[in-house]
Amino acid sequence: MSRRVLTIGLAIGLTPPLTHAFELADGRLHIHGFASQTVVHSSANRYFGNSPSTSFDFTELGLNASYQIDPRLLLGGQVLSRRAGEMYDGTPSLDYALIDFTPIADAERRAGLRIGRIKNPIGLYNETRDVPFTRPGIFLPQAIYFDKIRNLLLSYDGLMFYGDLFKDNGNLSLALGAGRSVIDENVEWILFGTDFDGDLKAEGPNWTIGSLWYATPAETFKIGLSALMTEMSFDAGPASPVAPGSIDISDWVLSVQYNAERWTLSSEYARTPTRWKDFGPFFPFEKQTAESYYLQGAYRLRPNLEIMTRYEEGFADRTDRSGRNSSDLTGGLVPPFDFFTKIWTLGLRWDINPHTMLRLEYQRHDGTYALSIRENPDPNSLVREWDVFAASISFRF
């Protein structure tokens, strides 16, 4: 705990020299950073660490920079250290790093190309999900933005074409990309239910279809459709009980948001068809279509004080909302409630000053579909109904 506090303190201490550095570059170099520490307590189940005993294992440290070479060419990137229970150990990783070339840009239109490691433009929050100040709560809606499989949704290595039209009656934005998804051990745990001997890797190119967005000029209202299609292959090792096979995932998200002076309403709906092919008789699943949604409202009591409430539901198989059929496929080893989640959330955000934010959050869970199997490998220890209390403090410069 003391080491994390020291790291956050060092990040804050860097603020004056970094601010001075980009001022010397005539505004072309911008450097920003953030640090966040969260404490999580749950009545049961492990959530971002050993939360039944109170966990301090959710820590985020990020440093990003951008350099405007000329009006048409921008370089940008971010390094992130993220500790999240058993899912991520805090090893620094490249969150994104890209070259952004914009040959067309005027008052009515913009078009360009990005090359490198690019954030997936999925939904309202995926592109900014790693910055605590841009999230609607301590935790994103887990029915849509699963932290247990975060890296698969987060970014890809490839290229993206994008374009915008700015009109008096609204703005239209389109993005289309291709590349390879970032696969880690968490993806294997979720898609197989365990860590089989072998290597799961992305086949390429994978297409990010969308996103397509419409927004009123002041973004009072916006609506968008986004999608990510991923193909993966599994090279089974000698100790693997399943044969070499492949997995296809399509993640489609419909997003709507309305912003007023003091409140914001947001809602998203997702369908995620998944197919497992050629894994042999010892793997029970062949295809599922996950379905999820949430409804969220935020009200600003004061410019620096906001309350938020959210209800969300997620189902591993939209035709099996009770989870009984999926549980039967495992021979009853996995309980039915591990295939769905229903979560009520109530949160408070207080911006103490422009650089410091405090958040408090309570969640009531029915089901364990949002949990990481890697953190909860024993299905017999799972509890269906459980509570989460969390508090975080975040800094930025």
How is the chain split into domains, by residue range?
A: 93-396
Whole-model pTM over 0.85: yes
Instruction: Give the whole-angstrom CA distance, residue 265 versus residue 296.
Output: 6
* CA angle in degrees (0–180, nearest 5) for 367-369-370: 105
The amino acid at 341: T
pLDDT at 19: 39
pLDDT at 23: 43
Helix (H) or strand (E) segment spanning residue 327:
helix 324-329
What would you report as the CA-atom Rg of the chain, rounded to the nearest whole angstrom?
21
Percent of the chain with pLDDT over 70: 92
pLDDT value at 11 more than 60 = no
The amino acid at 377: P
- Give the CATH superfamily of 93-396: Porin (2.40.160.10)
For residue 231, the cross-strand partners are 203, 248
Asked if residues 153 and 123 have their Cβ atoms less than 8 Å apart, the reply is no
pLDDT at 208: 63
Q: Which two tokens stand for residue 313?
A: 């539901």
Instruction: Give the whole-angstrom CA distance, residue 208 versus residue 180.
Output: 10
Instruction: Give the whole-angstrom CA distance, residue 144 versus residue 270.
Output: 7
* CA angle in degrees (0–180, nearest 5) for 52-54-55: 110
Tens digit of each residue's pLDDT (9 = 90 or more) over 73-118: 999 999 999 999 999 999 999 999 999 999 999 999 999 999 999 9
The arithmetic mean of pLDDT across residues 251-280, rounded, is 96
DSSP string, 112-145: EEEEEEEE---TTTGGGTTSGGGSSSSS--TTTS
Tens digit of each residue's pLDDT (9 = 90 or more) over 149-205: 888 888 889 999 999 999 999 999 999 999 888 888 888 888 888 888 888 888 766
> Mean pLDDT score of the chain, rounded to an integer?
90
pLDDT at 207: 63
| Start-end of H helices in the chain | 2-13, 15-24, 150-154, 185-192, 324-329
Closest CA to 348 of 394, 294, 298, 395: 298
| Start-end of H helices in 54-97 | none
pLDDT at 4: 43
The arithmetic mean of pLDDT across residues 206-233, rounded, is 89
Of residues 236 and 11, the one with the higher pLDDT is 236
pLDDT band at 26 (very low <50, low <70, confident <90, very high): low
Closest CA to 127 of 255, 12, 305: 255
